[in-house]
Amino acid sequence: MTERNDRSEKQGRASRDDRLKSALRENLKRRKLQARERAAAEPSQNDDGSLDEGTAGKIDD
């Protein structure tokens, strides 16, 4: 009887580990995607640290 309990306990532990691995993997994917989206949405900065506003408001010389 102990062998059956040990086996079922090991299977349950393995199943739980698989679920946790999968959940962690999906969480990591989601967080990486969020970081990429945030990086793309942030305004870029010039070398001097000023914000790059593109061509809006600039006068051609």
Compute CA distances 17 → 5, 12, 13, 14, 37, whole Å.
18, 9, 6, 5, 30
Q: Is 16 domain-assigned? A: yes
Task: Give the tokens for residue 2.
Answer: 């102990």
Separation between Cα atoms, residue 14 and residue 32, nearest integer Å: 27
Report the domain count for the chain.
1
Q: What pLDDT tens digit does each residue of the chain (61 aa) get?
A: 466 677 778 888 899 999 999 999 999 999 999 999 999 987 666 666 666 655 555 665 5
Parent domain of 27 = 1-39
pTM of the model: 0.51
Q: Is 45 domain-assigned? A: no
Name residue 51's beta-bridge partners: 45
Q: Is 26 domain-assigned? A: yes
Contacts of 1 (CB under 8 A, 6+ apart): none
